[in-house]
Amino acid sequence: MRRAIFPGSFDPLTNGHLDIIRRSLPLFDEIVIAVLQNPGKNPMFSVEERTAMIGEILPLVEDGRCRLVVDSFSGLTADFARRRGAQAIIRGIRAVADYEYELRMALMNRRLEPAIETVFLLAAEEFSYVSSTLMKEVFTLGGRVEGLVPELVEAKMRGKRGGQTPPAA
């Protein structure tokens, strides 16, 4: 079985993440969406909330070729990948700055677990500027994020803000 993990904070899950997942489907038999527990960040959603949201959204992405699983982890990505029996770590690249960071991470992961490869997928053009951090910032400041995050995620973000919708542009 060709198994990969797609690690990230997913706080919140974006349509860019979903694009990477969809384009990874033909490459693997199983992809574990690995939600990172990182208490050092200031999350909008708990790990449990992120895991539940992703679990609700994934059936809309699956196409029968690849099984999608949601899990959470803390610690080293390479250790989690080894424990899950993964052969690959999937990472999305949006820009040159991402590549430089991701290259360092991939090389360290290879040093820690030489049998696990990192697979880079370029972000689709329409999502090349989308990050979870940017989505939280824009939303918190009253900007609109529709089309950039799944509808369920946007609704949950509104719930965190008391159900208010940002003003029309």
Query: Residue 24's closest CA among 43, 4, 38?
Result: 4
Does residue 41 have an active-site annotation? yes
> Can you spell out the DSSP letters for 87-155?
SEEEEEE-SHHHHHHHHHHHHHHHHH-TT-EEEEEEPPGGGTT--HHHHHHHHHTT---BTTB-HHHHH
Which is catalytic among the residues 9, 131, 132, 136? 132
Does residue 17 have an active-site annotation? yes
Which is catalytic among the residues 41, 83, 104, 161? 41
Which is catalytic among the residues 22, 82, 94, 144? 94
Which is catalytic among the residues 3, 9, 17, 136? 17
Mind telling me the catalytic residues? 17, 41, 94, 132
